Structure 1
Amino acid sequence: MQQNRSLLTDIIALTKPGRAGAREDETALVSASRENVREAIQIVRSEIDDLTSILVSVQTLLGQRKEREEQLIRAQALLDETDDGQTRIPDNFASRRRERRSSLAWAVRREAYLALKRIGRPLSRREIHQELVLAGVEFKTEPGEPTLQAITKIMWKASEFVSTDDGYWLADETATPRRQDA
């Protein structure tokens, strides 16, 4: 800014009418002005190059951000499908006239459904029992009534499951997958 003011002062001094040597001064002024313009053009070109470089960097970062955002959207979709890694029970699952969600039958149906969905194949009543134990279902069966018989009775009466040659499977699934170990 200060340099521009001194340049203006010099220009005004050189262009005052009636000065001796005004013609040479005008030629010097034009030459100096051309040099200043060339220098200004070089500065602007340098700034354009710097800004172009910054723009390329910003575009690269924006591309990376967009890729990460797409990855997050895909990951969120997977989480929504699995509900934080767990299978979701449908809202109308095991609806009864009289629902007792604290009952053993409800817990067996719920955990058997989750196990079948998670494992993706029919399970025998022993496998269902193992999954129920892992899920923390406590069996308070009547004396003399073995746990496997209780599971069989609950699963047999539940309309949500069907008994197949390979074990119990989900009634609402169209195809019954075959056991791999058979």
Structure 2
Amino acid sequence: MADLARGVLLLVPNETVMATEDPGEPAPGDREVVRLQSGPSKGRTLRRKPRLQLRLPIGYDIARLRRALALALKMSDGEKTISVESADDRKKRGDDRATRARLEEDIEQLQRIIGDLAFEPLRGGITSRSEALHVMGFAPSAVPDQKAIRGRYRRLALVFHPDSPFGDHQRMSQLNEALEKLTRA
């Protein structure tokens, strides 16, 4: 019990401990029955005031100790939860939530953009160079070099690879066909 009380007093701010209702001393008529286990009075039954003995250094206020133990009981029963954090931690957590919300909005917007820009797979496959350029996102009359073609392929493969969030097997297959057609020429 002493370790529990000490732990609460060390981890929980004093204002929180002191805001907990003091359970107070036992009622005057409250008695516990104790059967003595040894000594000359072995087997004798005593009715005594309930007590809790804590071995702690001198200087702990008894009412504060009762409050700390009452708080521990409330936390154990799930009646009370506490968070050990500073005001800076709370502010940072709030900032993190705001940043996360903005990032989620950005991700949703990017998903809409990708959906709008994604090419529709060609039904008959890629039959010409202009169709291959279209699938890769180049203008039909463009003459990109091999480095530009491979760079575009890598970027589009990140988006359309079946293991990515926007993955599409058919689009990836057509990207592969387009790459083959454009690098063979």
TM-score, with structure 1 as normaliser: 0.30
Which structure has the highest helix share of the two? 1
